[in-house]
A and B are shown apart, each in its own frame.
Chain A
């Protein structure tokens, strides 16, 4: 097993967070000091763009570009929002990171906030992560006491306040525009841009929203430079490390920080301890529930945004859910579709009506009541979902569409045998 550099999980302790002092001793808040005293707002944005940091929450949007899209003459106050509403099934990397090193995330929020002159920072966190919310509340106070937050940060004239906002719990709140509605006390339906949140976000003012892990990368980029960050990856196209969270039929499920571009086989066999005894690898969802099943022929794929795009899939959140030869993928797709049908906000018709319909067809297939004509119908419904209002629905049918493309035989067996072939 290769010893890859640990950046985000460097100070990870088994049972407690890294304290402010410990974080400072390992170079913590040096990035912020350099940001304010050397680089200035534009310099930071350029460094993050040069580092090719792509959003770690699933959408892979270039983080530097997002910061740059706040216009110089944009109105005040401006907001910086940390999305800790991690609800993509199979994803628990932000939870691990918050419990490992909250100050790395806080420092990232301050650096990004400084670069767009934001006065208010908000950490939006799911209610299931109450312990994470309490950690943030306590450590934000510690950062204030140390002069990293509040007025005149590190002796400059920059001021930033960070508050923790608890959600009431719904998957759609992870979507940027829905999250902004949630933060404004409205029903969290998504809103179609333009205007984009960096122009008109919270209360109609410029708002930059990024994922926990994206913010955590920023102090390192400022402290050690964009080239160092890019050099962490194993592929030309990639940059940085990624926290892969592995779950399912492996011996050691958990979070592993590895270079972008590491091979899937290496993650599963070396880090996650291989398949469970008696289990053979069949497929995985490489980046959460809204990515497609990755068939066995790609077991050696380089886990990079680009290489997954090439095979019609996505790196998503880097949540690798591993399925074995004894697991029914029709049943798994039924479960995933039930999740999306329940979590749909119900705003637009394709999503509200389409997902329960797909769920019903899959349920009948799984119960041995499927017919041949269900297959073209499922394909058609999959296409319809792409005309929904937001990105939720196309993500929701990714498992279904990949099931039909790569595991058509398994679907056929449910029809011909008039039962689930995996059930005794």
Chain B
């Protein structure tokens, strides 16, 4: 069940929109933040809030890079694998993350903290190789830099 406070705040935003369904990405992302990922209950709740069918929400939910229909870790790491990062060695960055977190690409670390996913060009080609963690950008990556980023996130948890 959605907490009343979140439900009311979403309903207020939806009421402000000209057409409820134009809010679908915002509402999906808000529920994803609440549930940890976009589970079946979240999809149905989005549909009810926006007067859409669950299938219509599903069509959109499975389309976007940043809506997760499967469970993910607290931090989702998206490593850019497009051409400039490829030229600047994203493969070694990705492999380092796999070894460090002891997971394959697409998996979540045993402590439930990190999920590793590839992502297309994030528009930081002047700072390659680059990655996003929960949509925050980190550029000019090196193993040392990754160590300190992950260490900081673990401490914050």
Query: Do A and B form a real pair?
Result: yes
Which residues of A does B touch, CB under 8 Å?
Answer: 86-92, 94-95, 120, 126-130, 165-171, 182-188, 203, 245, 247-249, 253-255, 285, 289, 319, 321, 323, 327, 331-332, 335-336, 338-339, 342-343, 345
Looking across the interface, which residue of chain A has its beta carbon closest to that of B128? A247
Judging by beta carbons under 8 Å apart, are A170 and B63 in contact?
yes
A142 to B23, CA, bound (A): 24
A237 to B132, CA, bound (A): 40
Interface code B123-149, partner A: CB below 8 Å = 1, 0 otherwise?
Answer: 111101000100111000000000000
CB-defined contacts of B24 to chain A, threshold 8 Å:
185
B2 at the interface (CB under 8 A from A): no
A86 to B132, CA, bound (A): 16
Judging by beta carbons under 8 Å apart, are A90 and B64 in contact?
no
Judging by beta carbons under 8 Å apart, are B123 and A188 in contact?
no
Size category of the binding interface on chain B? 35 or more
B66 at the interface (CB under 8 A from A): yes
Closest 8 CB pairs of A and B: A168-B64, A185-B21, A247-B125, A89-B121, A169-B65, A185-B24, A253-B126, A187-B59
Judging by beta carbons under 8 Å apart, are B82 and A339 in contact?
yes
- A186 and B83 in contact (CB under 8 A), knowing A127-B135, A128-B122, A254-B126? no
CB-defined contacts of A184 to chain B, threshold 8 Å:
19, 21-22
B72 at the interface (CB under 8 A from A): no
A336 to B122, CA, bound (A): 14
Judging by beta carbons under 8 Å apart, are A128 and B132 in contact?
yes
B25 at the interface (CB under 8 A from A): yes
Identify which of B67, B125, B126 contacts A89 (C-beta below 8 A). Answer: B125
B120 at the interface (CB under 8 A from A): yes
Identify which of B28, B125, B128 contacts A168 (C-beta below 8 A). Answer: B28
CB-defined contacts of B121 to chain A, threshold 8 Å:
87-91, 289, 339
CB-defined contacts of B126 to chain A, threshold 8 Å:
92, 245, 247, 253-255
B52 at the interface (CB under 8 A from A): yes
Interface code B29-68, partner A: CB below 8 Å = 1, 0 otherwise?
Answer: 1000000000000000000001010001001100111110
- A90 and B21 in contact (CB under 8 A), knowing A127-B135, A185-B60? no
A170 to B56, CA, bound (A): 18
Output the least CB separation between B135 and chain A (Å): 5
A87 to B137, CA, bound (A): 15
A285 to B63, CA, bound (A): 28
CB-defined contacts of A185 to chain B, threshold 8 Å:
19, 21-25, 50, 52, 56, 60
Identify which of A91, A92, A188, A245 contacts B63 (C-beta below 8 A). Answer: A188
B11 at the interface (CB under 8 A from A): no
Listed by A's residue number, 28 A-B pairs whose Cβ atoms lie within 8 Å are A89-B82, A89-B84, A89-B120, A91-B123, A92-B123, A92-B125, A95-B123, A127-B65, A127-B66, A127-B135, A128-B122, A130-B135, A166-B29, A167-B64, A168-B29, A169-B66, A183-B22, A185-B50, A185-B52, A187-B60, A249-B87, A253-B125, A255-B126, A319-B125, A321-B84, A332-B83, A332-B87, A345-B63
A336 to B26, CA, bound (A): 30
Looking across the interface, which residue of chain B has its beta carbon closest to that of A202? B22
Judging by beta carbons under 8 Å apart, are B82 and A335 in contact?
yes
Judging by beta carbons under 8 Å apart, are A332 and B86 in contact?
yes
Judging by beta carbons under 8 Å apart, are B83 and A335 in contact?
yes
Judging by beta carbons under 8 Å apart, are A90 and B19 in contact?
no
CB-defined contacts of B135 to chain A, threshold 8 Å:
127-128, 130
A171 to B65, CA, bound (A): 10
Looking across the interface, which residue of chain A has its beta carbon closest to that of B121? A89
Judging by beta carbons under 8 Å apart, are B123 and A327 in contact?
no
